[in-house]
Copies of this chain bind each other. A is one copy, B any other.
Amino acid sequence: MSAPDAPDRTKHKTHAKVVNIKDVAARANVSVGTVSRVLANNETVGTALREKVTEAIRELNFRPSGVARGLRRSRTDMIGLVIPDITNPFFAELAKHVEAIASRSGFSVLLSITNEDPRIELNQIESLLKSYPTGLIVVPTQFGASEGWKSNVATVAVDRRFAGYPLISVDHAAGAGLAARHLLALGHRRIAYIAGPPEAPVSRERRNGFVDALAAEGVTPEILEGYFDYASGETLGRMLLDRAPGERPTAIATASDQQAIGLMRAANDLDLKVPQDISVVGFDDIPLAELITPRLTTIRQPVEQIAARAVALTTGTSPLPIDDELLEASLVVRNSTAARD
């Protein structure tokens, strides 16, 4: 007979009621403090209570609010990942491993894509910081001045240098050296190199590593500069290959697998056989490298290792280093390179 649905007088009742820690405490007849301790796996909780709480949590299907937790601790269990381009297979691979490793440690990843635009990068980072992430992994834009923003968030740069933050990256120069010595070992002397944009430090490091390794044997490569994408590889490849047999290189190394694939396409169009007429080495070892015809010889970046270090440093698992960490690249020999006749 009583009014079952008296008007709701509570103040902020705009949203659907969600089970909270108080409900759990009430259900288990304990204090919220105890529930919190159980959630934190705090040892000091007695077995009996711990059990009652666990039970209540299950019964009520309680999902602790990461937001409230984040506010209280002024830090959430998230890391920001800032990437120039997720459709680039190398970055996709990086994102995949970062997500997997982070999530294993209980962290979510906030993804930002900058499209290689320094202004967007700055905005996105500002925006990410509002969520109080524990750490920030940044692959900076290629040409950005990378303006300073400050925060007490553990930050690392990956692949490309970023302001004064520690850098986790493959040793680009040494990797390119591997490619150079491989071609040398196969007997090539007329060698060309398709580089990335000269303003990009990564590009310069790879190119210099390549050039230096060749110089050690007295060989000087012909160098063409472009972007890291397929299209550049194809265009520059055509310039290199559309010549009389005696004029064109017998081997070409590129600054990216994508360039190498574009280059192989150009070779194909010109009826040149890889590796019989021309040897090709890429850089990165993206998944596609072993799926094209012929399978691409390339320099492998230890992506998973890079991701693991970046996550460890930004989630506080490892203390932040002062120094950069350069990881080793390795040569993967497949079918796009052969000994010179």
Name A's B-contacting residues (CB within 8 A). Answer: 3, 5-9, 11-13, 15-16, 18, 63-68, 70-71, 74-76, 78, 81, 85-87, 89, 92-93, 95-96, 99-100, 103, 106, 108-113, 115, 124, 126-132, 148, 150, 152, 155, 163-166, 230-231, 234, 261-262, 265, 268-269, 287-288, 291-293, 316, 319-320, 322
Contacts and interface: CB of A to CB of B under 8 A. Distances in A.
14 contacts: A9-B320, A9-B322, A16-B152, A71-B71, A76-B131, A78-B110, A78-B131, A86-B95, A95-B111, A103-B124, A106-B127, A108-B112, A265-B292, A265-B293
Contacts of A115: 100
Residue among A18, A68, A103, A108 with most chain B CB within 10 A: A108
A166 B100 CA distance: 28
A36 to B, nearest CB: 15
A128 B262 CA distance: 39
B131 A67 contact: yes
Contacts of A92: 86-87, 92
Contact of A130 (B11, B66, B320): B66
Nearest to A130: B66
A132 B18 CA distance: 11
Nearest to A147: B5
A261 B291 contact: yes
Contacts of A85: 96
A89 B150 CA distance: 35
Contacts of A95: 86, 111, 113
A127 B99 CA distance: 13
A37 to B, nearest CB: 18
A230 B13 CA distance: 45
Contacts of A100: 113, 115
Nearest to A268: B293
Given A66-B130, A67-B131, A110-B110, 20 more contacts: A6-B164, A7-B150, A7-B155, A7-B163, A7-B164, A63-B126, A66-B132, A67-B71, A67-B76, A67-B132, A78-B110, A86-B92, A87-B92, A87-B93, A99-B111, A99-B113, A103-B112, A103-B127, A109-B111, A288-B288
A113 B76 CA distance: 19
Contact of A70 (B67, B291, B293): B67
A260 to B, nearest CB: 12
Contacts of A9: 164, 166, 320, 322
Contacts of A129: 63
A15 B72 CA distance: 11
